[in-house]
Chains A and B, each alone.
Chain A
Amino acid sequence: MMTTVFFELKNSQIGIAGLGGLGSNVAVALVRTGAGRLILADFDVVEEPNLNRQQYFLDQVGCHKVDALTANLLRIRPDSDLVGRKVRLTPDNIPVIFAGCHVVAECFDRSDQKQMLVETVLSRMPDTAIVSVSGLAGYGRSNDIVTRRIHRRHVLVGDGTSGIGPGVPLTASRVGIAAHHQANAILELLLDTEMRSLWARRNTGAGI
């Protein structure tokens, strides 16, 4: 069983949309587990407040997140296969940037951006699954964060209700729980029988 997980992960291509609290943690978990190719997409730079939950270092403040995360992941595993894209993701460029990905991780901050990405992948990328997050703000209530399969190609993580707001901060601990649910759901999807037969049928040759 474990051998199969590692084999499939090594032959996978996974998109990470947004390299903040979710994305940077998902990427670290996947690289440590032995991910194949990761497409890392974010237009932003590291800012000091990000350090409360994101996988960057103080001396990386001001660097593009794509460059900083790439450097950090290569320190963990020098043979990581990483593709960085410093762009703002839109419905038009998402199918191009994440072309050939088996799974895309939705790691955005804003609710309308989450909506845009999930809708785009589900409606325009028939061979790609998406793992998204809704509801991770605050602290405690660890067990309220759950993983649910909404659709054959859509897994949703979170408590569904805890948005950011006054007095409801994002914490490394609770964001980390959600990010690891996401990474774990990605491993599960890569071994999912239905998804594997979908990938086997596609003609791009990129199937697992």
Chain B
Amino acid sequence: MNTTLRINGNDKQFPQDRAPKTLAELLAELKIDQATVVAEIDGRIVERKDFASAALQPGQSIELVRFVGGG
């Protein structure tokens, strides 16, 4: 059984026993530095300080905007 999470408009499958349970776990799985990403779950902004407590459910729409340096 797989768990499906919708990330930036694309479905991503995770084995059910290894599916990330929080936003922080998802970012670690995707190897994204928390300090460089703005995250939304179902259109609502999740502040970085809440990434570890933001629980993920299948069917949610997750938006991750990553920033690279330069300006």
Cα–Cα, bound, A118→B69 (Å)? 14
Complex contacts, B66 vs chain A, CB 8 Å: 134, 160
Instruction: Select one of A18, A119, A151, A162 contacting B71, CB under 8 A.
Output: A18
Q: Are A110 and B38 in contact (CB under 8 A)?
A: no
Q: Are A115 and B38 in contact (CB under 8 A)?
A: yes
A162-B38 contact in complex given A123-B45, A150-B63, C-beta closer than 8 Å: no
Q: Are B69 and A111 in contact (CB under 8 A)?
A: yes
> How far in angstroms is the closest Cβ of chain A from B52?
15
Which residues of B line the A interface, CB within 8 A? 35-38, 40, 43, 45, 47-48, 63, 65-71
Q: Are A22 and B38 in contact (CB under 8 A)?
A: no
Q: How large is the interface on A (under 10, 10 to 19, 20 to 34, 35 or more residues)?
A: 35 or more
Interface of B is mostly: mixed
Q: Are A162 and B68 in contact (CB under 8 A)?
A: yes
Q: Are A118 and B38 in contact (CB under 8 A)?
A: yes
Complex contacts, B38 vs chain A, CB 8 Å: 115, 118-119, 122, 154
10 A-B pairs with CB atoms under 8 Å apart are: A18-B71, A21-B71, A111-B35, A122-B38, A123-B45, A134-B66, A136-B71, A150-B65, A162-B70, A170-B71
A164-B70 contact in complex given A119-B38, A156-B65, C-beta closer than 8 Å: yes
Q: Are B43 and A175 in contact (CB under 8 A)?
A: no
Residue of A whose beta carbon sits closest to that of B43: A151
Complex contacts, A162 vs chain B, CB 8 Å: 68, 70
Q: Are A22 and B71 in contact (CB under 8 A)?
A: yes
